[in-house]
Amino acid sequence: MEKRSIYADNAATTQVSEEVLNAMLPYFRTGYGNASSIYKLGRDAQLAVETAREKVAAALGAAPAEIFFTSCGSEADNWALKGTVETMAKKGKKHIVTSVFEHHAILHTAQYLEKHGIEVTYVPVSNKGLVSPEDVKNAIREDTALVSIMFANNEIGTIQPIEEIAAVCHEKGVLFHTDAVQAVGHIDIDVKKMGIDMLSLSGHKIHAQKGIGALYVRKGIVLPNLIHGGAQERNKRAGTENVPAIVGLGVAIEAATKNIAEKNVSITAKRNRLIDGILQIPYTRLNGDRDKRLPGNLNISIEGIEGESLLLMLDMYGICASSGSACTSGSLDPSHVLLSIGLKHEIAHGSLRLSIEDNISDDDVEYIISVLPEIVAKLRAMSPVWEKMMKGESYE
């Protein structure tokens, strides 16, 4: 069989698009001015930064003054949580609410805050991978400073009821932040309509370069400075702007948020074909709600195999994919996301995440469906867990 090259790991990162690269290039050589400089070269760089800010704001239904550029999505998450806590703790609000299956940029920040006297409630998720607004409501206390619930999960792609959660927070007078790193550019987002107070996003998930992100902060919310120094980002985040990266983010978000609904028709059809095809393999299950999920995400547990071996084997067949198991985190623990939806350790270890975009051909979709059964059969033939399962013995 001919070797292919299929990239099905867009939730991990994306290729910088030609459009983005072309927009960035002038700012490395001819337009290299410091955006704080007063002469034309500097003013042009400043204009490019502000144009990008307008594009990011427009994509979210926000005002440009509500957008702060950061170095990545993780930084935006850290700033939202630590910044809010720093301000609110002075008012006696020392409690935050988040969910058990957030990205580590949120979870590890929450754990850090716990070490510094902040109480954190981690709301559970259902076995379909959804957070209940009712659970969020019940977790909010008199001293709650912030609720942070991700827009879409990075492993299983489930889309949370963000508007309802925001409404619950506002009913109780609590600020609401969402980590929308996986959602921006894939589903329509309007921060005003949805009642979002703060939102994190990242460029490299939407065909901009790695190392650029942004935090939307609703007008009226004052976060403490993230980096002290110069007056960049309205005095909040010092450091000479990364003009090419910011320009790239502006172009990327504009392109990603154009005609989302139209693009999603074809992506969803390909994703559903993959789900149906892969679920033909015995002892497999789809993780996360089938409909309330990102159009390009599928996450399937395949019993009796190790995710890591599966990924290596897929690589040999020319397919780049991801798994919720050990290799992604560098630890031996299975994914906290898969455990949070009730999967047993052994099953969580053997999961496959494919995150596709519209550029995957129907032929490549069929190729994945056709090679997976033989890959799984090979791995199961070598698996002691599978052998025990087939004999009906306990393998925990």
Structural contact between residues 252 and 93, judged by C-beta atoms closer than 8 angstroms: no
Structural contact between residues 168 and 133, judged by C-beta atoms closer than 8 angstroms: yes
Structural contact between residues 7 and 365, judged by C-beta atoms closer than 8 angstroms: no
Among 181, 194, 196, 347, binds ligand PLP (CB under 6 A): 181
Structural contact between residues 226 and 75, judged by C-beta atoms closer than 8 angstroms: yes
Q: How many residues bind ligand PLP (CB under 6 A)?
A: 14
- Considering beta carbons, is residue 31 or 307 the nearer one to ligand PLP? 307
User: Could you say whether residue 355 binds ligand PLP (CB under 6 A)?
Assistant: no
Binding mask 101-140 for ligand PLP (x = CB under 6 A): --x-x-----------------------------------
User: Could you say whether residue 73 binds ligand PLP (CB under 6 A)?
Assistant: yes
Whole-angstrom distance, CA of residue 97 vs CA of residue 132: 13
Among 35, 72, 267, 275, binds ligand PLP (CB under 6 A): 72
Nearest alpha-carbon partner for 3 in 320, 277, 351, 358: 320
Please, what is the minimum distance in Å from the beta carbon of residue 121 to ligand PLP?
20
Find all residues with CB under 8 Å of 316, minimum gap 6, and list them: none
Indicate the residue whose CB is closest to ligand PLP.
73
Whole-angstrom distance, CA of residue 373 vs CA of residue 278: 8
H or E element: which one contains 312? Answer: helix 307-316
Whole-angstrom distance, CA of residue 232 vs CA of residue 169: 31
User: Could you say whether residue 356 binds ligand PLP (CB under 6 A)?
Assistant: no
Nearest alpha-carbon partner for 294 in 152, 132, 130: 152
User: Could you say whether residue 347 binds ligand PLP (CB under 6 A)?
Assistant: no
Binding mask 365-384 for ligand PLP (x = CB under 6 A): --------------------
Please, what is the minimum distance in Å from the beta carbon of residue 204 to ligand PLP?
6
Structural contact between residues 296 and 357, judged by C-beta atoms closer than 8 angstroms: yes
Catalytic annotation, pick one of 72, 169, 320, 327: 327
User: Could you say whether residue 44 binds ligand PLP (CB under 6 A)?
Assistant: no
Please, what is the minimum distance in Å from the beta carbon of residue 109 to ligand PLP?
11
Compute CA distances 144 → 22, 96, 173, whole Å.
45, 5, 9
Stretch that binds ligand PLP, among 14-22, 69-77, 108-116, 267-275 (CB under 6 A): 69-77
Stretch that binds ligand PLP, among 15-23, 174-182, 255-263, 381-389 (CB under 6 A): 174-182
- Considering beta carbons, is residue 176 or 386 the nearer one to ligand PLP? 176
- Say whether 320 is catalytic: no
Residues 187-246 touching ligand PLP, rule: CB under 6 A, are 202, 204, 213
Strand stretches in 245-325, DSSP E: 284-286, 297-302, 319-320
- Considering beta carbons, is residue 322 or 383 the nearer one to ligand PLP? 322
Structure tokens at 192: 């005003």
DSSP notation for 319-357: EE-B-SSHHHHTSSSPPHHHHHTT--HHHHTTEEEEE--
- Considering beta carbons, is residue 106 or 379 the nearer one to ligand PLP? 106
Count the residues in the chain.
Answer: 396
User: Could you say whether residue 303 binds ligand PLP (CB under 6 A)?
Assistant: no
Whole-angstrom distance, CA of residue 344 vs CA of residue 346: 6
- Considering beta carbons, is residue 144 or 297 the nearer one to ligand PLP? 297
User: Could you say whether residue 182 binds ligand PLP (CB under 6 A)?
Assistant: yes
Please, what is the minimum distance in Å from the beta carbon of residue 182 to ligand PLP?
5
User: How far does CA 19 lie from the centroid of its chain?
Assistant: 23
Find all residues with CB under 8 Å of 104, minimum gap 6, and list them: none
Stretch that binds ligand PLP, among 20-28, 175-183, 275-283, 292-300 (CB under 6 A): 175-183
User: Could you say whether residue 150 binds ligand PLP (CB under 6 A)?
Assistant: yes
Stretch that binds ligand PLP, among 90-98, 177-185, 191-199, 248-256 (CB under 6 A): 177-185
Please, what is the minimum distance in Å from the beta carbon of residue 75 to ligand PLP?
7
Q: Which residues are catalytic?
A: 327
Interface with ligand PLP by CB under 6 A: which residues? 72-74, 77, 103, 105, 150, 154, 179, 181-182, 202, 204, 213
